Amino acid sequence: MKAWVVSNRALKSIDAEMPQPNEDELLVRVLVSGVCRTDLHVCEGDLPIHKESVVPGHEVVGEVVQKGVNVTTFNERDRVGIPWLRHTCGSCRFCLSGRENLCPNSLYTGWDADGGYAEYATVPADYAYALPMGYSDKELAPLLCAGIIGYRALKRTGLADQGGRLGIYGFGGSAHLTIQIALARGCKVHVMTRDLAAQRLALELGASSATGAFEHPPEPLDAAILFAPVGELVPVAMRALDRGGILSIAGIHLSDIPSLNYEGELFYEREVRSVTANTREDGREFFEFIGKHRISTTTTPYPLSDAPRALSDLKAGRFAGAAVLIPD
């Protein structure tokens, strides 16, 4: 099968052997694989690879073609999603307290194990998602990381169920999904991003305002989410928060954060919170929500053979929304 692997901080095209599922796994024919900024971090070495010549990609929509003997939850020809989170130990204090995203023995698709930049992939059945009806494969792919992570980042702000004034910094694949969830839950949203096309998209989706990344929103924020991997925006966002406001940082990689001024940026019980992966329950909640509240995904398709260009365009900000790879 055709696949891409990470070698010497670059993508390399290879002819790979067909993966074989173990007794608890599914073998999936890849229909669409989303292109995530985490893939870019893995390919460029910001996140050193955990598996030599790993196949990246963790936003995979596919069709089950074979299942292990112990699998009872899916059948052949089912449409399933392969996400970032691939394994947790189930026995540590984090797993036992409902915080499996913090499991020190966790493993991840496209980093610890081969992912979706290929024609076929495997996934442990317990970590695959059943996907809602009413969405195309291209629409669903970005939801498997960008959507779920955005949902968890919104939960971390404390506004997920109560509404409020939310700021979003950066407006790429995850942000353009999260804004729709936030609006559906009663939030008023202000978007700060350098890209003019992304500003227009934010307004089209319902943002109350859209300005430059370092500009001040038109009113104090109850919470904010930082999607751009730019540490310099942390103090900017903190200054925009009202008393008791929370900044949720959604990325797995962030450039260095400048020093914070306690009185101007942290006092009045303003908080900074990171987001680390997600739990499977986050994913199930998210897919249940979008099954009832339809959200739009803005995607730019690329053939699988053009994966390096898709990553290059992502890095350069040449498209709004998310890129997806489709097998040739």
For residue 204, the cross-strand partners are none
Instruction: Indicate where the chain has its CATH 3.90.180.10 domain(s).
Output: 2-131+298-326
Distance, CA of 149 to CA of 175 (rounded, Å): 10
Q: Is residue 160 pLDDT above 70, yes or no?
A: no
* pLDDT for 318: 87
Q: Which helix (H) or strand (E) holds 307?
A: helix 307-316
**What's the number of CA atoms in the CB half-sphere (13 Å) around residue 317?**
12
Nearest CA among 156, 198, 157, 197 for reference residue 175: 198
The contacts of residue 214 (CB under 8 Å, 6+ apart) are 192, 233, 236
Q: Which pTM value belongs to this model? A: 0.91
Which CATH code of 3.40.920.10, 3.90.1580.10, 1.10.287.610, 3.90.180.10 fits the domain covering 2-131+298-326?
A: 3.90.180.10
Pick from 81, 86, 73, 71: which is nearest to 31 by CA? 81
Distance CA 36, CA 58 (A): 8
In CATH terms, is domain 147-274 a member of 3.30.420.40? no
Q: Name the segment(s) of the chain with CATH classification 3.40.50.720.
A: 147-274
Q: What is the mean pLDDT of residues 221-242?
A: 97
Mean pLDDT of 8-24: 95
The string of pLDDT tens digits covering residues 161-218 is: 678 999 999 998 889 999 999 999 999 999 999 999 899 999 999 999 999 999 999 9
Both structure tokens of 203:
């307004």
Could you tell me the two tokens for 14?
């290879």
